Structure 1
Amino acid sequence: MSTPLETRHLRGLGRPVSAIGAGCWTIGGPATNQGVPIGWDRADSGRALAGLLHAHELGVTLYDTADVYGLGHSERLLGRLLSRVPRHEVVISSKVGYFASAAHPYAAEQMGRQLERALANLGTDYLDLYFFHSTDFGEGDQYLPGAVKQMRAFVEHGLVRAVGMRAPHTFALEWATGPSHDRRAHEAARFLRLYEEIRPDVLIVRYNLLSPLYGPDETDVFDFADSQGVGVIIKQALGQGVLLGTHHPDRIRAFGHGDHRRQDPMFTPKALREVYDGLASVRERYGATVPDLARVALRYALARDPEAPVLVGFRDAEQINTTITSLGEPLTADEITGLHQSLAPLRDAFAARMAKRHAP
């Protein structure tokens, strides 16, 4: 008999969810939005549905999708799961704010259409969580007040149970008081301004072995969320597969027109080599197989916040099974400290790469 999947009490939503959630971006398949690749190659609908069903069998209760994941295809696949399981047993999260439209993704009427379409795709009459997927609210944030008003109306009418918002990949509360020309200060201050306007119930943030560490006098997004009484969901704990060694630098893949990785700097030969070499100490200490590395990456993320669930992407039943059954025992405090120390050069290189990507 398999060990029951751990649960966590997600603040902001006020209910337990599985510690591992199913991230449904990968099953949406290839897609473009205004000419930009936003999807994933080689997605098979039958295998993806089998993965969703197996995730539920393994105890996964949190499923995260978005209207742009496969331009609705991910939601429709998830709807097929919902037609087979009791709705109250699962937490469904979707997002709005990227889908191309005539006016703007956050125009109130567009948001209404997207939610109506999402509910139809999913075959449900409500969402447990609805995220502001983008922080682009138009020039001068002209669509922000209307978007917040529309989201609150969704909640008042029972169409949405809780509201979510994405957090910056790097953030410390104290940065917001820095000089206005400093990029970190600008991004932190903007996040705080949007947070105050939106007042979300849950934040979603990227956090993995490559995420920066913060000093004792810095308040990161997890501590900030805790102080505000809001929940956190962790995404990209596996680095989109890069932290599992499945993208070997000596076996570079060619990605199709609708696969976002063709434009993602993390999937260039140089970046993949950098990560692969930087993880040598992890492979030596914990093993080099996918389950070995998945356990380290997931347990590292799960250790950051005892109430934050972690989303994992998958394509089929085998992948979701490997991920969940690889969890094993939690990492010790000494092991986490060791990972902090041994991966410091790789974290610094990754941070420099991201800073260069966002430089003016």
Structure 2
Amino acid sequence: MTLHDLVPRRLCGDLSLQPLGIGSGTSRWDPSASCLDDGRMLDGLRRAVESGVDLVDTADWYGSGHAERLIGKVLREFPGHTVHVASKVGHVRGSAAHPYAGPRLRHQLEQTLENLYLDALAIYTLDSYDFGLGDQYLDPVIAQMQAMRDLGQIRAIGLRGPGSRGSVRLMRRFRELFERIKPDVVWTQANGLLPLAVLEDGEDLGAFTARQGAGLVVASPLAHGALAGGRPARAQSTLGGRSMADADVATLVITQGLEELAVRFGGAPGTLVRLALRFSLQTIANAVVIVGVGDERQVETCLSCLGDPLSDQELLEVADVFSRIRTGLQDPAGGIPAAEANV
């Protein structure tokens, strides 16, 4: 990634990263890749490292540690490359009473570092808001996370942020935990169809984290593949204001919007991916954007299609289409209303 506008972004402290990273989850935007095998995933990770990607996002529960082990295999093949890894914790209990009980957090970090062949993580994110009855494990977890950061085992403490469809109760819970944990980084999912969460006071998560001096890691910029033109129905459960029983309607609503973008910006391969990634990269200034791709071809598409930045006018046009897709998903009977400017 050598594009002039994609310079490293400071997330926190002295941790600065390229603005586009890669996630190790299953690919969801290629219609032919419902399940990636290890070989394709490894090829994708290798291509990402070769291209200069310096952040790989994963979690200990992705394949019960299998994703971490695949990443570790690739990192050993590129000893001269500086690649940071972010992982998450909070769902794997093992034989402990709770995922956050006792020394479980420290033991899980040790296992993650062993899987990755690393001495330290860039970001270690608390992925669950469940800290036991009465938050009995919260204070010990905070102390452990701070100690691991002080010892250099992790560079940044992360906390999962709420999605835009989170309840008021969830938003309040996030604010409560943020104030107590004081994370360096917040991890969330957002894209053109699923905007950043807006907190109770009307401030969105990007503005909130920037004001608090925390970095932001944004995953799913392609909306589970919907914005790349592949299997839009896969995203229907996370988009819009209600669940849609008819997947064909979701497909039609999203496809109509994407066709409008293709007419406006051209139908060259990678155009839709470029628009979705550029939209996230340019509208969320304090974030590293994580694209969940897997095989080599997908990685190459994402890293080679970015081109020049979108102009302010182009960003407005893309945002308008995304907004009308969201409206159509919330009210599928109404379809996608045409933009007045295009009538």
TM-score of the superposed pair, with normalisation by structure 2: 0.83
Partner AA of 1:242 in structure 2: A
Q: Relative to structure 1, is the Cα distance of residues 124 and 248 closer, same or farther in structure 2, using a 3 angstrom cutoff?
A: closer
Give, in angstroms, the shift of residue 129 of structure 1.
Answer: 0.9
Give, in angstroms, the shift of residue 285 of structure 1.
Answer: 1.4
TM-score of the superposed pair, with normalisation by structure 1: 0.79
Q: Give distance in 2, aligned partners of 1:113 and 1:5.
A: 40
Give, in angstroms, the shift of residue 316 of structure 1.
Answer: 1.2
Corresponding residue for 2:193? Answer: 210
Partner AA of 2:123 in structure 1: L
Corresponding residue for 2:223? Answer: 239
Aligned-residue sequence identity (percent) comes to 36
What CA deviation, in whole Å up to 9, does each residue of 1:140-190 have, x standing for no partner? Answer: 33322222122122212221111111111129xxxxxxxxxxx74322221
Corresponding residue for 1:189? Answer: 172
Q: Give distance in 2, aligned partners of 1:210 and 1:351.
A: 11
1:278 to 257, 262, 272: 257
Q: Relative to structure 1, is the Cα distance of residues 140 and 279 closer, same or farther in structure 2, using a 3 angstrom cutoff?
A: farther
Corresponding residue for 1:159? Answer: 153
3-state SS, counterpart of residue 309 of structure 1: strand
Matches within 5 A, 1:273-352: 273-288=252-267, 291-350=270-329
Give, in angstroms, the shift of residue 5 of structure 1.
Answer: 8.9
Partner AA of 1:24 in structure 2: S
3-state SS, counterpart of residue 108 of structure 1: coil
Q: Which moved more, 1:294-303 or 1:155-164?
A: 155-164
Runs of 4+, deviation exceeding 6 Å: none
What CA deviation, in whole Å up to 9, does each residue of 1:186-205 have, x standing for no partner? Answer: 22221110001110001112
Q: Give distance in 2, aligned partners of 1:188 and 1:66.
A: 23
Q: Give distance in 2, aligned partners of 1:129 and 1:92.
A: 7
Aligned pairs, how many? 316
Answer whether contact 2:113 2:120 (CA < 8 A) is retained: yes
Give, in angstroms, the shift of residue 122 of structure 1.
Answer: 0.3
Q: Give distance in 2, aligned partners of 1:106 and 1:86.
A: 33
Answer whether contact 1:5 1:18 (CA < 8 A) is retained: no
| Gap runs ≥5 in structure 1 | 28-39, 172-182, 253-259, 354-360
Q: Give distance in 1, aligned partners of 2:226 and 2:307.
A: 21
Answer whether contact 2:11 2:17 (CA < 8 A) is retained: no
Q: Does the alignment pair 1:91 with 2:84?
A: yes
Answer whether contact 1:10 1:232 (CA < 8 A) is retained: no
Corresponding residue for 1:32? Answer: none
Q: Does the alignment pair 1:49 with 2:68?
A: no
Answer whether contact 1:167 1:203 (CA < 8 A) is retained: yes
Q: Relative to structure 1, is the Cα distance of residues 87 and 165 closer, same or farther in structure 2, using a 3 angstrom cutoff?
A: farther
Q: Relative to structure 1, is the Cα distance of residues 108 and 55 closer, same or farther in structure 2, using a 3 angstrom cutoff?
A: same
Q: Does the alignment pair 1:61 with 2:54?
A: yes
Give, in angstroms, the shift of residue 20 of structure 1.
Answer: 1.1
Answer whether contact 1:10 1:307 (CA < 8 A) is retained: yes
Corresponding residue for 1:26? Answer: 26
Q: Give distance in 1, aligned partners of 2:142 and 2:232.
A: 43
Corresponding residue for 1:71? Answer: 64
What CA deviation, in whole Å up to 9, does each residue of 1:53-83 have, x standing for no partner? Answer: 1111111011111101111111001101221
Answer whether contact 2:194 2:223 (CA < 8 A) is retained: no
Q: Does the alignment pair 1:17 with 2:1?
A: no
| Gap runs ≥5 in structure 2 | 28-32, 333-343
